[in-house]
Amino acid sequence: MKKSKLPKQALIILSIALVLVISTVMWSSAQITQDTEEEVQSTLRDVATQNALIVQQELRENFNLLYSLADAISVSPDAVNAKSIAAQLGSFVSTYEFKRIGFVSPDGQVISTDGYVQDLSSRDFFKDGMQGLPGITNTLQDRLGTPEPINVFSIPVYDQSDSIIGVLFATYRNQHFEEILGVQSFNNQGFSCLVNQDGDLIATSSNAPASLQEADRMSDYLTQDARNDQPLQDLHTLLQSSSSNGGYFYGGSQKYYYYAAAMDNLRSDRQWFALTIVPDQVLSSRSAPILFQVRLLILLIIVIAGCGTFAFVHSIRIQRRQLYRLAYVDPLTNGDNFACFKEKLSHCNGDCGFYVALDLQDFKLINNTCGVAKGDETLLEVWKLLQTGTHLGEFSAHINADRFILFLRDNDRCTLEPRLECLCQDISNLSTKLNIPKLFPLCGIYETADHKEIEQNYGKAVQAKYPIKGKRTRHYAFYEDLDIKQLSEDRLMEDVFEDALKNGEFQLWYQPKVDPVTGNILGAEALIRWKRPDGTMLSPGKFIPLFEKNGNITTLDEYVFRTVCAQQQRWLQAGATLYPISVNISRVSLYYSNVVDKYREILNSFRLDPKYVPLEITESATIDNSDISSLIEQFHEAGFTLLLDDFGSGYSSLSSLNVMHFDTIKLDKSLIDYIGDRNGEKLLLHITQLLQSFGMTITAEGVETSDQVEFLKNLHCDDIQGYYFSKPLPVNEFEDFVRKHTGL
């Protein structure tokens, strides 16, 4: 009995062991399938969200253009006719790839850039616009010109008294939405579409099923399969909730997963969603190889339990290594990423050291001028320098783009600063090695021994760079040296910038330029002021340097230029004598290769002679920009008059004036203040004689005394700008000044 029992007991134990092992393997199989499904769902969400962001950006840019054009039309509503539409709006059609742009008068009559005249009074977008509502239509079939699917953007147009004088619209080819949605995903097995909250289909990608492309609504497509009763109800509930989420439905023999990413509401009744859809076979194709291996393991376990167990454990280890690489290895440098940096540093709490947030100022110029591949090569070379520059127990990581972080264990600033100087110099020297624009690394530093909140510590290191960003005067700054109050004020100004621009808080003041002999007005310079809703007036010195750092200055530059053009147009239509009103262009705007074309388009939209809107370029902007000579030539070819502003403020190079052909030189106040000093007056005399010999006119800035005026008269200075004659004036006071100093 005992002998007979032993084999049976062994068999039972072996069977139990095999059942446990097989159960474990089967559980692992289900877990792998679940992980794969979650991975697909995560990717699905990311693709849908990205599509939504791209479409939102497209919508925002198109509406911003229409608002800008509406401002121009509202300047002179009596001039709205077919000829003015073609002149003011025609140039924007091809630039922004619209089919047409048109204006609908209150009686429903439309005039458009392609010459069509018809009655649109029955159209919903016209009715909404006359009620003060912007909008974009569902997909329509354009019956004018080439028949094709379109979407119509529309906004109301207000006159100077805030009364609606019509509706401005732009016809947008639906094909553009299809192209945006056409980005490949899931090896081109995934497809996307745009729907509104009622389930109406706006656009679909070209690889979507034909039955979906032919449908007008998602319900039309889903009701083709009887299994979609509940999925259809779930989708309807999701769309009506205006939130982002995922789900599934059936189509033919396939089950599909989708994720609906909600876009920012244009209007509460016009919610759009970007749907990205992927067939179930994507999940099975990803999990099938793994499941096959698992089933093979089951067979091998039955034959040789030990080998099967070992193989399974081995496969788990491989997956863990892959997950570790995804979680902690930067794909560009193959070094540590920020997650790995945080993990390592979290074990060093109590160890004092310095967080160093490093980036490369104006790095995008390298990508724009040398290509992304050269940009990646540059980042790899920087990473190598960081690796050689760190010691045992110190960490470094690539965060993203051109941003890096280091943790250095120096005792104090005295030992840290030489290391940073050496590192920054080595990075700058890469410019010669790689034949790229000059690199200028910036480091923000925060010292602490508390590593419980690593992201907050990094944020403080980033904040430390704030005062030096964009100046190219220092490579590093410490958080302890920050003016936190100023930082908070700057952040507030950044947050409200866009709303302030839309609400007209930025005002233009005009400082006259006067003939020093006759005292007659010769022109003016447009100066920006920011009047907050509480009545506080902010001077340019508070917000211009900030916007030069964060890039908002380009938008502000264009706003000032467009506003001056509009004001000149109003004076012209009122029959007033026009005087040149000069406008400043920041050095940041000059880095964009299309700056000349953009300013030419704005000027042409107002049908102004460029001589009435001269452009001022600061002397410091000519130092960093290697393309400045070419830009000056392009501006001249476009008909603009160019003024070199702040000449003599510290960067002057007289020899460069022979290369950069400016029309007018503006002598900085620092030179004017030399008047009364014998040597200073000699300097002014020889400078003005040299400039006049080049054929340049001369404007003196910052003139405040009668002695200065008399001296400048003797130098035959062409015009004077300063408090002696007038401070900067709001437009109504400037008009009064012009009437008093016209020489009439």
One domain, residues 414 and 497 = no
One domain, residues 658 and 620 = yes
One domain, residues 429 and 492 = no
Which CATH number belongs to the domain containing residue 420 in this structure? 3.30.70.270
Query: Looking at the domain assignment, is residue 221 inside a domain?
Result: no
Q: How far is Cα 524 from Cα 583, in angstroms, rounded to an integer?
A: 9
Q: How far is Cα 650 from Cα 654, in angstroms, rounded to an integer?
A: 12
Which pLDDT value is given to residue 254? Answer: 86
Q: For residue range 97-145, what is the model confidence (pLDDT) as tens digits?
A: 888 888 888 988 888 888 777 888 888 888 988 998 998 988 888 877 7
3-class state of residue 609 by DSSP: coil
DSSP letters, 180-205, are HHT---TTTT-EEEEEETT-BEEEE-
Q: For residue range 484-541, what is the model confidence (pLDDT) as tens digits?
A: 666 777 788 888 899 999 999 999 999 999 999 998 999 999 999 999 999 888 888 8
DSSP letters, 612-632, are GS-EEEETTHHHH-TTHHHHH
Mean pLDDT (whole number) for 666-692? 90
- Answer for the pair 169, 102: CB distance below 8 angstroms, yes or no: yes
One domain, residues 559 and 705 = yes
User: Which of 445, 461, 482 is the endpoint of a domain?
Assistant: 482
User: Which of 122, 148, 170 is the endpoint of a domain?
Assistant: 170
One domain, residues 399 and 527 = no
Which pLDDT value is given to residue 471? Answer: 72
Which CATH number belongs to the domain containing residue 94 in this structure? 3.30.450.20
Query: Looking at the domain assignment, is residue 30 inside a domain?
Result: no
Q: Identify which of 189, 99, 206 has the alpha carbon closest to the alpha carbon of residue 151.
A: 99
pLDDT surpassing 90 at residue 85: no
Query: Looking at the domain assignment, is residue 20 inside a domain?
Result: no
Query: Looking at the domain assignment, is residue 443 inside a domain?
Result: yes
One domain, residues 559 and 646 = yes
Q: Which helix (H) or strand (E) covers residue 260, if one does?
A: strand 254-262
**DSSP-derived secondary structure letter, 329:** B
Residues in the chain: 744
Q: What would the two tokens of residue 516 be?
A: 């020093």
C-alpha torsion sign, points 312, 317, 322, 323: positive
Confidence of residue 654 (pLDDT cuts 50, 70, 90): low
Which pLDDT value is given to residue 736? Answer: 93
Half-sphere CA count of 554, side-chain side, radius 13 A: 14
Query: Looking at the domain assignment, is residue 310 inside a domain?
Result: no
CB atoms within 10 A of CB 426: 17
Q: How far is Cα 56 from Cα 50, in angstroms, rounded to an integer?
A: 10
Q: What would the two tokens of residue 566 be?
A: 């509009």
Q: Tell me the C-alpha to C-alpha distance, in Å, between residue 533 and each of 499, 555, 614, 645.
A: 11, 21, 31, 32
Return the exposure string of 582-596: e unless at least 16 CB atoms fall within 10 Å of the residue's CB, then b: bbbbbbbbbbeeebb
Q: What would the two tokens of residue 81 be?
A: 């006719």
The residues, ordered by sequence, that sit 6+ positions from 483 with a Cβ below 8 Å of its Cβ are: 467
CB atoms within 10 A of CB 184: 12
Query: Looking at the domain assignment, is residue 227 inside a domain?
Result: no
Q: For residue range 1-41, what is the model confidence (pLDDT) as tens digits?
A: 334 444 555 557 767 877 776 777 677 777 777 777 777 78
Mean pLDDT (whole number) for 648-658? 63
> For residue 356, which amino acid is it?
V
One domain, residues 149 and 114 = yes
One domain, residues 553 and 478 = no
One domain, residues 472 and 508 = no
Which pLDDT value is given to residue 423? Answer: 94
Mean pLDDT (whole number) for 691-711? 92
Mean pLDDT (whole number) for 172-177? 89
**DSSP-derived secondary structure letter, 217:** B
Q: What would the two tokens of residue 657 be?
A: 């004036």
Query: Looking at the domain assignment, is residue 287 inside a domain?
Result: no
One domain, residues 376 and 399 = yes
Which CATH number belongs to the domain containing residue 660 in this structure? 3.20.20.450
* Residue 203 region by backbone torsions, left for phi larger than 0, else alpha for psi between -120 and 50, else beta: beta
User: Which of 482, 517, 533 is the endpoint of a domain?
Assistant: 482
One domain, residues 389 and 518 = no
Q: Look at the pTM and tell me if it is higher than 0.75.
A: no
Q: For residue range 295-315, what is the model confidence (pLDDT) as tens digits?
A: 677 677 767 766 766 676 567
Q: What would the two tokens of residue 210 be?
A: 């034909």
One domain, residues 102 and 143 = yes
Which pLDDT value is given to residue 268? Answer: 62
Q: For residue range 547-601, what is the model confidence (pLDDT) as tens digits?
A: 887 788 999 999 999 999 999 999 999 999 999 999 999 888 888 878 999 999 9
Q: How far is Cα 601 from Cα 613, in angstroms, rounded to an integer?
A: 13
Which pLDDT value is given to residue 295? Answer: 65
Q: How far is Cα 145 from Cα 148, in angstroms, rounded to an integer?
A: 9
Q: How far is Cα 133 from Cα 155, in angstroms, rounded to an integer?
A: 7
Query: Looking at the domain assignment, is residue 271 inside a domain?
Result: no
**Percentage of the chain exceeding pLDDT 70:** 90
Q: How far is Cα 174 from Cα 200, in angstroms, rounded to an integer?
A: 14
Question: What is the layout of strands, in order, in the sheet containing 191-196?
Answer: 201-204, 191-196, 272-279, 254-262, 245-251
* The total number of structural domains that make up the chain: 3
Q: For residue range 188-232, what is the model confidence (pLDDT) as tens digits?
A: 888 999 999 889 999 999 888 888 888 889 888 888 888 999 999
What's the chain's average pLDDT? 85
Domain with 637 in it: 488-740
Which pLDDT value is given to residue 10? Answer: 52
Cα-Cα-Cα-Cα dihedral of 45, 51, 54, 56, to 10°?
-80
